Amino acid sequence: MTIRELPDIAKEIIDSAKAGEEIEVALSRGRSTTVNAYRGEVESLKSGSSQGVGVRIIIDGCEGFASAGSLDPEIVLEVVNEARQNLTFAEKDPHQAIATPDGVKPPGLDLFDRSVLEVSEKEKIAIAIDLERRCLDRDKRITGVRASTWADGWAEFALASTAGIAIHEEGGSCSVGVQPLAEESGETQIGYYGDVARRLENLDLQKVVAEAVDGATSLLGATKPASQRVTVIFEPSVAAAFLGVVAGSLTGDRVAKGRSPFAERMGETIAVADLTLFDDPTDERSLGAENYDGEGLATRRNDLIVSGSLNTFLHNSYTARRLGVISTGSAVRGVRSRPGVGMHAMQILPGDRTREELIRNVRNGIFVRGVNGLHSGVNPVSGDFSVGAYGHRIVDGSLGEPFREATIASTVQRMLLDIVEVGGDFEFLPGGTGMSSLVIAEIALSGS
């Protein structure tokens, strides 16, 4: 099969637009490999190629969409026809349209490091096996490793439209992840940690091993805490999960459709003055950095909450038109889906004090290492927040015994106002979020 360049395929589809049609085409092509190690040997070696096409066609505010996992010319043609047919069943939405270029210059980030493609299979296998070995060596209570994984991928992406958008980007990354099992007195705990980077040298294997092993061993002997109201410290990954829920409520689609508790609060104080939350895909340090958003507009920094005050919602071109504002370059999409709205690279403005100082300040509380049930116990429409939590007790300013099988609950709205302090322990998490620990008061801890 002859390999055709993505922009050429896109152009052909755009050129086929009929009178009155707006067309947007997204195309991708990629390949990936995954290596799993188990007990010092390769357990599985996986590799594959993937392709994708997604076509939106709009006529007079009626949109149709179709996609496929193949760039086979016959299937691409089928997708275009299917999108064209689908739009005839949509009802007119006057705000529905393809994004038009807005003149904002992209940040011009060089995000692709070709060296990630040059890691040999041998090297990948060695890293996966080594990770497992290092977990076992780090602590004698580590009795096994459920999975020790290397993965890498490369993909190119093209987006073009009848409105004049035409981009073609290329990216690659590598990642590792490990799940050690710790055992003591008949009890088993599992840990997990991973890292993602644009080049091999930037993977912090030492940290991955340390965090994964500590995650498993530190919970050995954990008990169920007593139900009470406490001050909690969320470690950065947990703080990121919480603020991710907040950010989701600040997106244009939720706001426009009356599904956000903050819809009517623009300009008001919704959080403590210490909290400044923003999305900055132009910050190269973040793995979420991008030159363009999902509609091909330049990314930009957006300050959502500034010193506690609600400053802006995030928009793609559709939600912006609906609410009479301009797109904030916050369209997110995969080739196979229509553009949504969301964060690319969330960040928080860090505070001053170290994690130890934060802990020292809490007389009776908990340090939360992880939460679960975010998808089941948090309702982003009502703001009800209830998640499973595990971590350590804090007694008179120092970390105490581990706890598990507990929930923490409040509402998202209250928690933003109950933030006591933002930590100075800022870090970029593997997903690209720049986050610190958060101290939050008045949380209902449910246990025994």
Partner 1 sequence: MSEDLAPGPLLDPSLVETTLRVALSKGGEWAELFAEDRQSASSSFDEGRVDSMSSSRDRGVGIRVTVGEITGFAHTSDLSSQGLKEAAEVAASAATSSSRTTAVALNGDGLASTRVKMLPNLVSKESKVALLRRANEAARSAGSAISQVTVGYSEGRRRILVANTAGIFRADDQVRTLFSVNCVATGDQGLQTGRETVGYTVGYELFEENDVEALAERAANRAITKLRARPAPSGELPVVIKNGGGGVLFHEACGHGLEADLVKKGASVFRDRIGQQVASSLVTLIDDGTMGVEWGALSIDDEGAFTQSNTLIENGVLTDYMWDHLRSKDAGRVPSGNGRRQSYQHLPMVRMTNTFVTNGETEPADIIADTTRGVYVAQLGGGQVNTATGDFVFGMTEAYLIENGEITEPLREGNLIGNGPEVLKNIDVIANDFAMGSPGTCGKDGQGVPVGDGQPTLRVSALTVGGTAA
What residues from 216 to 275 belong to the interface with partner 1 (CB under 8 A)? 219, 224, 227, 257-259, 261
CB of 350 vs partner 1, minimal distance in Å: 29
* x-marked contacts with partner 1 along 354-373 as a string, rule CB under 8 A: ------------------xx
CB of 48 to partner 1, least distance (A): 4
Asked whether position 1 contacts partner 1 by CB under 8 A, the answer is yes
List the Cα angle 384/388/394 in 5-degree steps: 105
Does position 86 bind partner 1 by CB under 8 A?
Answer: yes
386: contact with partner 1 by CB under 8 A: yes
Q: Tokens for 370?
A: 């992880």
Lookup: tokens for 13: 């589809």
Cα–Cα distance for residue pair 173/155, rounded to 1 Å = 9
Of 269-328, binders to partner 1 (CB under 8 A) are none
**Token pair for residue 229?**
């109201």
d(CA 87, CA 64): 4
The two structure tokens encoding residue 253: 């689609």
User: Of these, 17, 97, 181, 210, which contacts partner 1 (CB under 8 A)?
Assistant: 181
Residue 447 CB, nearest distance to partner 1 (Å)?
A: 6
- The size of the interface with partner 1 (CB under 8 A), counted in residues, is 81
Q: Is residue 427 a contact point for partner 1 (CB under 8 A)?
A: no
The residue among 45 and 197 lying less far from partner 1, judged by its C-beta, is 45
- Residue 91 near partner 1 by CB under 8 A: yes
Residue 68 engages partner 1 in binding (rule: CB under 8 A): yes
Strands 302-306 and 309-310: antiparallel
The reply to whether 38 sits near partner 1 by the rule CB under 8 A is: yes
Please report how the helices 73-87 and 6-15 are oriented relative to each other, as an axis angle in degrees rounded to 10.
40
Binding region for partner 1 (CB under 8 A) out of 143-151, 277-285, 289-297, 359-367 = 143-151
- Return the structure tokens found at 366: 């908990």
Minimum distance from CB of 74 to partner 1 (Å)? 10
Q: Which of 65, 157, 234, 367 binds partner 1 (CB under 8 A)?
A: 65
Tell me whether strands 228-234 and 364-372 are parallel, antiparallel or unpaired.
parallel
Position 41 contacts partner 1 (CB under 8 A):
yes
Q: Which is nearer to partner 1, 76 or 304 (CB)?
A: 76
Q: Is position 156 an interface residue for partner 1 (rule: CB under 8 A)?
A: no
Q: Distance from CA of residue 441 to its chain's centroid?
A: 26
| Piece of 102-110, 186-194, 197-205, 301-309 that binds partner 1 (CB under 8 A) | 186-194
Figure out which of the listed residues 69, 73, 164, 221 binds partner 1, where binding follows CB under 8 A. 69
In whole angstroms, what is the distance from residue 235 CA to residue 76 CA? 46
- Pick the closer one to partner 1 by CB: 219 or 289: 219
**Tell me, what DSSP letter sits at residue 116?**
G
